[in-house]
Amino acid sequence: MEIIYLIIFFIGPGIFVKEISRYFSVVERYDPPKNTVYENLFVIVVESALLNTFAIVFFNCINDDKILSAEEFISKPNDFDFLCRYIPILIFLIIVYVFAKKFFGKVVHKIKSWWLNKKYGLNYGNSNEGTVWQNMIYYENTGKNDKVVSIYHNGEYVISGILWGYNNRKIDGKDFRLIRTQEVEKVLKRDKKTTLEEQWLGYIEKVYYDSDTGLMIKFYRSDELMEHWDEISKLS
């Protein structure tokens, strides 16, 4: 029975850390198969052992019955009273560790960004995710106007509209949903006949290009379009 408890204590916290991190992440990440099962298990065991070590230290500070050896800790899980006092401490430290890990990751990101900008003049990617796609779709212009886009594939125009839905996992690919496609295409047709200053979608804020699939997305500044939205029905 002690072996089962030890497996739970020295694997469970690491898995708990991974699941909490995934739960609080805006983007559901897909871990590519670059890490083997053994490498992932090693990380889980190390984090679990680290958390249990801190939990034992914390437990000893607030309780009279100290844990002074590995043998004592192995025998403790048989004591229900011990579990009721130890597990809440462990869960608390897991939550603190997850947020501390996230905070430390942001600090490291800022240091990397500062160093790359100083040495090479490069702008490091967003610290919240790992790809340009996720950065542009999820984090840039959050809370601002709807994303009005034109989509191209291998240099050929496909469709335009307001980006309204997209996958949140890398493993699912770059599928998305567009709305108001007819209205946006009417505006683009109108803009071809006018000067740049009079165009409602004249300014392209950014362009996403995937060299593997040939997918290109142009993101327009939509402020001017929204001001004239009621006039679209009059366009031919």
CA distance 181 to 179: 5
pLDDT for residue 131: 64
- pLDDT, tens digit, 9 for 90 and up, residues 84-119: 888 899 899 999 998 888 888 778 778 877 887 777
pTM of the model: 0.57
Q: Which residues of the chain have pLDDT under 70?
A: 1-6, 22-36, 38, 77, 122-131, 134-135, 137-145, 167-173
pLDDT for residue 168: 62
pLDDT for residue 161: 92
pLDDT for residue 63: 86
SS3 assignment for the chain: CHHHHHHHHHHHHHHHHHHHHHHCCCCECCCCCCCCHHHHHHHHHHHHHHHHHHHHHHHHHHCCCCCCCHHHHHHHHHCHHHHHHHHHHHHHHHHHHHHHHHHHHHHHHHHHHHHHHHHHCCCCCCCCCCCHHHHHHHHCCCCCCCCEEEEEECCEEEEEEEEEEECCEHHHCCCEEEECHHHHHHHHHHHCCCCHHHCCCCCEEEEEEECCCCEEEEEECCHHHHHCHHHHHHCC
- pLDDT, tens digit, 9 for 90 and up, residues 19-44: 777 666 655 554 545 556 767 788 88
